[in-house]
Every structure is written in structure tokens, then in C-alpha cells.
Amino acid sequence: MSFHLGYCENVLFDTWKVRSVETLIGSMFGIIGMAILYEGLKAFREHLFWKDGQKKKTENMPAMKLMFGKAHLIQTGLHVVQVILSYFLMLIVMYYNVWLFIAVVLGATIGHYIFGWQKLVLAASSNTKPCAEKTCSDKKVEKY
């Protein structure tokens, strides 16, 4: 298989038919939106994970309570949606259509630009420093 510049594709489903330049451009906008949504969902899950970790200490909670807790169930549901979106994007790239590939990459780039800065804010506001910046002598090293 090799990349091609055509515009005759059935994208993901038989009902999503690209048969003209206009439908190709419309599909590209849809795919860009899908990739932006994927990046936004990734950032939202990280935000929820961080927010939930700040609310309560989970060190002394029983594992079963954490596993069946509301936060973990929400994270699991969002993870399923994220996996489905990621596979859809991968399958779109596997059509080897240059225009659809560009749409996926462009959408991921725009999505990261829109949502990626939040990681920097969270990292800057965190009080924890990486291990290299503090002494690691108090950490126990487990042997396997």
C-alpha cells in the first residue's frame, strides 16, 4: 500500500462516502474535529485524575472502594470513548489517503495546542519535584 491523493473513499462506514472534492473537504473538517475531541478527552481525563487526587488521599482507602468508586467508573467510561476515538483515527490513517492523514495530524496538532497547555499549568502548580531535584536516599528500592 502507498499513500494516494484520491477522493473516492468509504470512511469507516458504508454510509460515510467521499465521492467529490466537496465531501472530501467536509470529511477532513469532521476528522479534524474528531482528532481535536480525542486530544480534549485526553486532557479532560488527566484533569479529572489530578482533581480527584487533590480532593482526597487515596493511600489509606481499601482497593475495592477505589476500584468501584464513582471517579474510577467515570474514568473507565471516558477511557472506552478515548479508545474508540483513537482506533477510528488509526483506521482513517490506514486508508493511506494523504488528505485524510493530513486531517488527522492537523486535528491532533490543533487539539494539543488547545488542551496541552493545561499540563504545564498543573506541573507548575504541583508542589512535588522530580526525584533528580531532591534526595532519593529516603526512597526504598524494591528488589524483584
Summarize pLDDT for 1-31 with one digit per residue, the tens.
889 998 889 999 999 999 999 999 999 999 9
- Least Cα distance to 36 among 110, 141, 135, 134 occurs for 110
Domain residue extents for the chain: 9-133
The radius of gyration of the chain's CA atoms, rounded to the nearest angstrom, is 21
39 vs 144: which has the higher pLDDT: 39
Confidence of residue 76 (pLDDT cuts 50, 70, 90): very high
Instruction: Give mean pLDDT, residues 101-117.
Output: 95
- Least Cα distance to 9 among 22, 103, 18 occurs for 18
Q: Determine what percent of the chain is predicted with pLDDT higher than 90.
A: 53
In order of 6, 7, 26, 28, 104, the CA distances from 21 in angstroms are 9, 6, 9, 10, 17
Q: How far apart, in whole angstroms, are the C-alpha atoms of residue 23 and residue 63?
A: 50
Contact criterion met (CB below 8 Å) for 20 and 4: no
* Residue 95 predicted with pLDDT over 70: yes
Q: Determine what percent of the chain is predicted with pLDDT higher than 70.
A: 74
64 vs 93: which has the higher pLDDT: 93
